Amino acid sequence: MHDRTEQVDDLHLVALPSAVGCAEMFVRFSLTEWSLRDLRDLAAETVRALTKAVVSAADPANPGMMTARARLSGGDLVIEIEPPHAVAAPPVPAGARAGVLDIGGGRTMLWAAIALPSGMSASAVPLPRRQRRPSSQTVRGNPPDEPIGADAETMQRILFGLSGRRERDQR
């Protein structure tokens, strides 16, 4: 088995109390997109514990920025929080293992790993296909800068209808 990262999503947040709910929603959304619904509750509890630790240690007057990250690597879902200041690893729910990693420059990263369902590896997780949808103009085959024209008969009927309305409105 390898530990190559197959998918990663991250979110930058201000280390204030609102970050706890935002990080939880972010992880739930990512796992829904990755078809890992069975891990959502455990992952949400785990990111909540990590984020609460960062927010609790932050100075509300100058909280700093933090990064919440979810990634699939090897046989694990890895949740990482890069805090604006050093924070000790908090207790995490059963089923997750956690720690603190020194990433250099006086910075640390909280992490927690949750094993993927039995027999599944990161490379086997079906990932979302993100494609740009064509605009309605493209679907119709009309370039957006090209006006959509009407034939002379249609224009005459529109003008006749409008002129008749003015006459009716004046009476």
Q: How many CB atoms lie within 10 A of CB 71?
A: 18
What pLDDT was estimated at residue 25? 96
Find out whether 101 and 57 touch, Cβ atoms under 8 Å.
no
Whole-prediction pTM? 0.70
Q: Does 73 reside within a domain?
A: yes
Does residue 104 lie within any of the structural domains? yes
Residue 41 falls inside a structural domain: yes
DSSP string, 107-135: EEEEEEEEEPSTT--GGGSPPP---PPPP
Residue 129 inside a domain? The answer is no
Q: Is residue 134 part of a domain?
A: no
Tens digit of each residue's pLDDT (9 = 90 or more) over 56-112 = 999 999 999 999 999 988 889 999 999 999 899 999 999 999 999 988 888 899 999
Asked if the structure places residue 149 within a domain, the reply is no
Question: Does any domain span residue 84?
Answer: yes
Task: Write the CATH number for 43.
Answer: 3.30.565.10
The tens digit of pLDDT for each residue in 129-141 reads 555 566 555 555 5
Residues spanned by the domain of 54: 5-124
Give tens-digit pLDDT for 5-62. Answer: 777 889 999 999 999 999 999 999 999 988 888 999 999 999 999 999 999 999 999 9
Residue 121 has pLDDT above 80, yes or no: no
Give the total number of structural domains in the chain: 1
CA distance 73 to 59: 33
153 domain-assigned:
no
